[in-house]
Amino acid sequence: MKTKVMIAGGGVGGLMAALKLAKCGYDVTVAEQTKNSAHLYKGELLQPKSIQLFEQAGVQEQVISTGHPINEIEIIEMKRKNDQYHQLGKAVMDYNIINSRYNYALMIPHEILKNILLEEAEKYQGFNLIRPARFTGFRNGKALVKTSEQELEIEADVYIGAEGRKSKVREAMNVPVKEQTYDHHFLTVSFPRPPSLTEGRMISTAHTFLGLFPLPDNKVRTVYLISSGEYKEMKEKGIQYFHERYLELCPDLDGYVTQIKSWKEIQLMIPVHFHAEHYVKGNKAIIGDAAHSVHPMAGEGMNLAIQDGDALGELLCWIFENGYEPEKYLDWYEEVRRPRVEHILNISHLSSIPYSKPFKYFTRIRNKGIKQMTKDPKLHTKQMLNISGLGIWKETFLDRMIQVGMLPARTYQNIQLMHERYMFSSENDYPWRTKGGNSHA
């Protein structure tokens, strides 16, 4: 079997790349190992840049109408005294501070998002999905894909590994990764929410963290931090213990979290951090979790996969339109994406440190840092712009001094004008279109 581009893995990253290629009129084949939608939770927070890319891909209406917008995230620090939690401080991280029409995030169930991408891709003749079909490796330069009936040999101009953390394409490219784990894990579950809970909320204590992110259909996605190894012990204490842990931090959830009747509904999430040394080798490239894995604290993994899929899909369209050899020009993808991913990996990793030992016990310092960040408009804008994916505005030593409270917060009049120059233009996103040649020329 022949195709122009073969993609192993039909997650958000693989489907985004496939949609871009199919829209350009190229033949693209996706092999996805699962038969139906997975019931695993896999990330639901869409950052502003991903919303912008969905508009370009022609699916923004479906995405927005099925998602729940998040304008701000309230951050509450709590301290335990006399067997009860009391509020130590509060700050608000506000997406609206970004001067863009994509100045909000969106919560959307992962499988619904994948279905939107799939339905759109299926409108184009060049799109093929083989499912269930497992990519197992390469033989004589062709991809081997196993279905229940046969083993297919697929010949393509370009092969994309979009199969997540355990990527076989990455293995075939001989690109090593060094996984870093953390001293904490997360429990995650969604359930109906109180009507007043319409924006994001993060509640921290010296021992844990509860993230509440409203979903459509009056539900809320919750993420609860536990020490690594604590899961088994908690399960043994029964589901009531889980309810109590939530309710001591957020009494508003009474009558809602209690609708969770069994530990089977709760998923354990183990954060892992890695960044592959290369994204491209010859006519092979890796995207999304195959290329990098990010701590979930900043809600970025799914967004990085979508943004990789967009950049690689757009680059391949340009390569094919011009009749160029993919091997010569694929490094543009790595040139654009690697520094952006590296920046987000660092932000996510840094966000995890205040919740790791021994720093998690310094609640007052953490509270001060977050307060300073939202009080200082420059720091606040930098933080929101950087996590949005719409641009990069790096923090300086001075910023860090302000954040830890060693210097006072600044006041600015024209912060909007200042941050616009740090936002990515279409030329920054797709530089090959204006610069041509390969990225190192």
How near is the Cβ of 65 to ligand FAD at its closest, in Å?
Answer: 20
- At 123, is the secondary structure helix, strand, or coil? coil
Residue 117 touching ligand FAD (CB under 6 A): no
d(CA 220, CA 211): 10
Alpha helices in 168-213 (DSSP H): 168-172
Residue 18 touching ligand FAD (CB under 6 A): no
Q: Rule CB under 6 A: which of 280-309 touch ligand FAD?
A: 288-290, 296, 299-303, 305
How far apart, in Å, are the Cα atoms of 320 and each of 4, 66, 158, 214, 316?
9, 34, 11, 42, 6
Are the CB atoms for 96 and 71 separated by under 8 Å?
Answer: yes
Residue 72 touching ligand FAD (CB under 6 A): no
d(CA 18, CA 122): 10
* Cβ proximity to ligand FAD, 258 vs 267, nearer residue: 267
How near is the Cβ of 186 to ligand FAD at its closest, in Å?
Answer: 7
Listed ranges 29-37, 78-86, 91-99, 433-441: which one lies at the site for ligand FAD (CB under 6 A): 29-37
* Cβ proximity to ligand FAD, 347 vs 402, nearer residue: 347
How near is the Cβ of 327 to ligand FAD at its closest, in Å?
Answer: 23
| Spatial CB neighbours of 437, under 8 Å, sequence gap ≥ 6 | none
DSSP assignment of 59-108, as one string? Answer: -HHHHHHHSEEE-EEEEEEEEEETTEEEEEEEEEEEGGGSSSS--SEEE-
* Cβ proximity to ligand FAD, 333 vs 363, nearer residue: 333
Whole-angstrom Cα Rg for the chain: 22
How near is the Cβ of 290 to ligand FAD at its closest, in Å?
Answer: 6
* Cβ proximity to ligand FAD, 30 vs 415, nearer residue: 30
Residue 168 touching ligand FAD (CB under 6 A): yes
Taking CB under 6 A as the criterion, the residue among 3, 6, 7, 10 binding ligand FAD is: 10
Taking CB under 6 A as the criterion, the residue among 23, 49, 134, 349 binding ligand FAD is: 134
Taking CB under 6 A as the criterion, the residue among 3, 5, 6, 11 binding ligand FAD is: 11
d(CA 151, CA 161): 18
Taken as a whole, the chain contains a residue count of 441
State residue 235 phi and psi, 5-degree precision.
-60, -40
How far apart, in Å, are the Cα atoms of 107 and each of 119, 360, 382, 385?
20, 27, 22, 18
Residue 129 touching ligand FAD (CB under 6 A): no
Residue 215 touching ligand FAD (CB under 6 A): no
How near is the Cβ of 300 to ligand FAD at its closest, in Å?
Answer: 5
In the DSSP assignment, the letter for residue 359 is G
d(CA 331, CA 215): 38
Give residue 91's region: left, alpha or beta (phi > 0; psi -120 to 50). Answer: beta
d(CA 419, CA 99): 8
Listed ranges 9-17, 97-105, 314-322, 382-390: which one lies at the site for ligand FAD (CB under 6 A): 9-17
Listed ranges 33-41, 150-158, 401-409, 424-432: which one lies at the site for ligand FAD (CB under 6 A): 33-41
Residue 109 touching ligand FAD (CB under 6 A): no
- How many chain residues touch ligand FAD (CB under 6 A)? 35
Taking CB under 6 A as the criterion, the residue among 4, 20, 23, 42 binding ligand FAD is: 42
Give residue 82's region: left, alpha or beta (phi > 0; psi -120 to 50). Answer: left
* Cβ proximity to ligand FAD, 43 vs 109, nearer residue: 43
Are the CB atoms for 110 and 135 separated by under 8 Å?
Answer: no
Find how far residue 356's CA is from the centre of its chain. 21
How near is the Cβ of 105 to ligand FAD at its closest, in Å?
Answer: 10
Listed ranges 36-44, 191-199, 256-264, 417-425: which one lies at the site for ligand FAD (CB under 6 A): 36-44
Q: Rule CB under 6 A: which of 173-212 touch ligand FAD?
A: 188
Listed ranges 43-51, 52-60, 76-84, 421-429: which one lies at the site for ligand FAD (CB under 6 A): 43-51
Residue 45 touching ligand FAD (CB under 6 A): yes
Taking CB under 6 A as the criterion, the residue among 3, 4, 6, 9 binding ligand FAD is: 9
Which residues are at the interface with ligand FAD (CB under 6 A)? 8-14, 31-34, 41-45, 134-135, 162-164, 168, 188, 267, 269, 288-290, 296, 299-303, 305
